Amino acid sequence: MTTFRAAVLQMRSGIDPNENAERFADLVEQAVAADADYIQSPEMTNLVQRDRDDLMAKIRSQTDDPVARTASRLAKAHGVHIHLGSIAVALEDGRVANRALVFGPDGDVLARYDKIHMFDVDLDNGESWRESRTYRPGEDAVVVPMAFGEAQARMGLAICYDMRFPHLFREEALLGADILTAPAAFTRQTGMAHWHVLLRARAIENGAYVLAAAQGGRHDDGRETYGHSIIIGPWGDVLAEVVGDEPGIAVADIDTGLSADVRAKVPNLRNARDFRAGRRIVQVGAGASLETERGE
Supply the residues annotated as catalytic: 43, 115, 160
- β partners of residue 97: 89
**Whole-number CA gyration radius for the chain:** 19
Q: How many CA atoms are closer than 13 Å to the CA of 109, on its beta-carbon side?
A: 12
> Per-residue b/e over 22-54, b at no fewer than 16 CB within 10 Å?
ebbeebbebbbeeebbbbbbbbbbbbbbeeeee
Q: Are 42 and 10 in contact (CB under 8 A)?
A: yes
What is the amino acid identity at position 136?
A: R
* Residue 233, CA distances (Å) to 38, 49, 186, 255 in order: 16, 33, 21, 9
Integer Cα distance of 184 and 199 in angstroms: 11
- Residue positions counted in the chain: 296
Nearest to 137 by CA among 158, 166, 106, 111: 158
Nearest to 24 by CA among 5, 35, 8, 37: 8
